[in-house]
Amino acid sequence: MLYSFMIILLTTTSFAAVQVEDHSLIYESYKLEKSGKVKEAIERVKKVMGSESDSYGLNMRMGHLYQLEKDLDKATTFFVRAGVLKPKSLEPWIILMDYFYEKDIVRGKTYAGEILSRDPAHKEAAEKFLEACLKTNSHSSGLDQSEESLKAWPSHLFFLEKKAFFLAKLGKKAEAKAVIVDLLLLDPDNAFARNFMSTEN
């Protein structure tokens, strides 16, 4: 899996602070994981980490293993700690966003927001954040994000549709209609725009 490959790459550079003799324990943890012995893999990494660790790679590793164990609270703790240790990294927040999005839309939206605070042009995070705003009736936040996303993607139909939707929900009908015109100029058969016009008449 792409995720597993990325974790291996991360650990190659992120375990630099780990003592050489501890690398065998980390290696063992991968072998144990591969054979389905995730609990034993966790114990190997714990021996390296102690009670806490400032290693980005080790925290990502533990988050991944606890995710496999479906221990959501512990997985989240380690992924968040990794994100704090390496503030510019998107990977822990992407994992949390993807994991929570279908299970807890509010938390999924929060983690999408963490990604966007680091990379405002992150398309997938913006799309998920806006869908979450739609589902949670967060119209003001949705409008702000749709406008921010359009700075990076000015002709993106999805972002234009969401901007028109949130404008209308906030009572800004004239501005919403202006966005609808932009949508129709880009896509004359746009279903959202057509439906918007039919409900207005």
Which tens digits make up the pLDDT trace of 159-181? 999 999 999 999 999 999 999 99
Question: In the structure, what pLDDT confidence band is assigned to residue 63 with cuts at 50, 70 and 90?
Answer: very high
pLDDT at 81 over 70: yes
- The CB density around residue 2, as the number of other CB atoms within 10 Å, is 6
Global pTM reads 0.80
Q: What's the rounded Cα separation, in Å, for the pair 127 and 17?
A: 37
Predicted local distance difference test score (pLDDT) of residue 13: 45
